[in-house]
């Protein structure tokens, strides 16, 4: 009697027996694909399946970009929803690493927080390209702030307005206490483009390495730069007493078109006094050798020369290089 038994566990075994003894047996091995197909259930393509790491067609979504309104510090933000390359600049007292992390009114202070600048120059360094305007500055003690006019364009910008002087008026006569006291004048008129006389808080608060005089007289506006490295403020420089500069008479004469100056003396600087003649910033000329009795000046903050009341501009008599002059200017004094 002959019979066959099959086992299907991935392999089919065929064993043959003949009679009552053990006969020869054979093993049948199914092809691999056939074995897998017979063992694995079919998948319905319409049913979802879990992706595996071996499935190259699976796309993993990137995390959402940081939000500037999610109430947390993420991305390159320096504080909650501000700072960095994407979000708006941070307001005052928020964390920062550079000036661009702060709103355009502020700079990144030494403590890593956004704070008001001490000068227009500091503000412009933090935010290049700012326009001429009125900005808020902090006082040196950082206990208060004030409005300041900023020239952000001329010669690289960053100039803080300190004074506006109408040379045809007596307001800033040499001995006026506006030069030496803490009193201010028209502190609410800090604009650089109006003609309101003013002594601003910046006169006392802004440190400087340059003093810039801008004289607007008939014939156009002219500028002159005086080096003043390491000076605490213009107020401190004036109170110090006489400080000599050496720009030369031609530089000073260039401040006022068609100006005149006697040929001798040529004493120049800040708080210049020779005999009875005084000048806060500028140059004195005399017709005789020495400086005993100058009768000409170019500058700002004079006392009386040649019986004239001009306090900023050019006054000359008695053999001035260009004849007699009494030419007032509207003067602006900046620091940088």
Record the pTM: 0.80
pLDDT digits (tens, 9 = 90+) for 192-207: 999 999 999 999 999 9
Q: What percent of the chain has pLDDT over 90?
A: 79
Please tell me the distance from the alpha carbon of residue 78 to that of residue 312, in angstroms, as a whole number. 49
**How does the average pLDDT of the chain come out, rounded?**
87
DSSP state of 290: S
What number of other Cβ atoms are within 10 A of residue 255's Cβ?
25
C-alpha span between 109 and 163 (Å, rounded): 27
CB 273 within 8 A of CB 280: no
Amino acid 218: pLDDT: 86
Tens-digit pLDDT profile for residues 249-297? 999 999 999 999 999 999 999 999 999 999 999 999 999 999 999 999 9
Check whether 233 has a pLDDT greater than 70.
yes
Q: What percent of the chain has pLDDT over 70?
A: 80
pLDDT digits (tens, 9 = 90+) for 69-94: 999 999 999 999 999 999 999 999 99
Contact 281, 214 (CB under 8 A): no
At 140-159, the pLDDT tens digits run: 999 999 999 999 999 999 99
Q: List the chain domain ranges.
A: 2-33, 142-335
């Amino acid at each position: 009697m002959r019979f066959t038994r099959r086992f299907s566990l991935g392999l089919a075994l065929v064993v043959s027996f003949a009679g009552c003894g053990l006969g020869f047996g054979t093993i049948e091995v199914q092809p691999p694909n056939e074995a897998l197909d017979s063992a694995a259930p079919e998948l319905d393509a319409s049913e979802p399946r879990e992706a595996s790491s071996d499935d190259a067609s699976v796309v993993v979504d990137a995390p959402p970009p940081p939000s500037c309104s999610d109430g947390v510090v993420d991305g390159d933000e320096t504080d909650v929803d501000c700072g960095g390359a994407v979000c708006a600049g941070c307001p005052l007292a928020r964390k920062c690493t550079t000036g661009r992390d702060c709103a355009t009114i502020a700079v990144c202070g030494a403590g890593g927080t956004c704070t008001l600048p001490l000068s227009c120059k500091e503000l412009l360094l933090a935010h290049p390209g700012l326009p001429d305007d009125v900005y808020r500055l902090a006082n040196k003690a950082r206990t208060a702030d004030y409005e300041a006019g900023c020239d952000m364009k001329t010669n690289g910008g960053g100039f803080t307005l300190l004074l506006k002087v109408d040379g045809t008026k007596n307001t800033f006569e040499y001995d006026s206490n506006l030069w030496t006291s803490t009193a201010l004048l028209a502190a609410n008129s800090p604009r650089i483009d109006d003609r309101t006389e003013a002594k601003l808080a910046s006169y006392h608060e802004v440190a400087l390495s340059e003093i810039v005089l801008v004289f607007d007289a008939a014939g156009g506006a002219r500028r002159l730069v005086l080096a003043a490295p390491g000076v605490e403020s213009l107020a401190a420089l004036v109170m110090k007493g006489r400080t000599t500069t050496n720009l030369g008479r031609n530089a000073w004469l260039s401040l006022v078109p068609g100006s005149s100056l006697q040929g001798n003396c040529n004493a120049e600087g800040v708080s210049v006094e020779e005999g009875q003649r005084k000048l806060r910033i500028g140059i004195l000329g005399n017709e005789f050798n020495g400086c005993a009795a100058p009768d000409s000046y170019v500058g700002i903050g004079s006392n009386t020369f040649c019986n004239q009341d001009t306090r900023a501009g050019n006054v000359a008599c008695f053999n001035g290089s260009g004849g007699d002059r009494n030419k007032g200017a509207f003067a602006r004094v900046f620091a940088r």
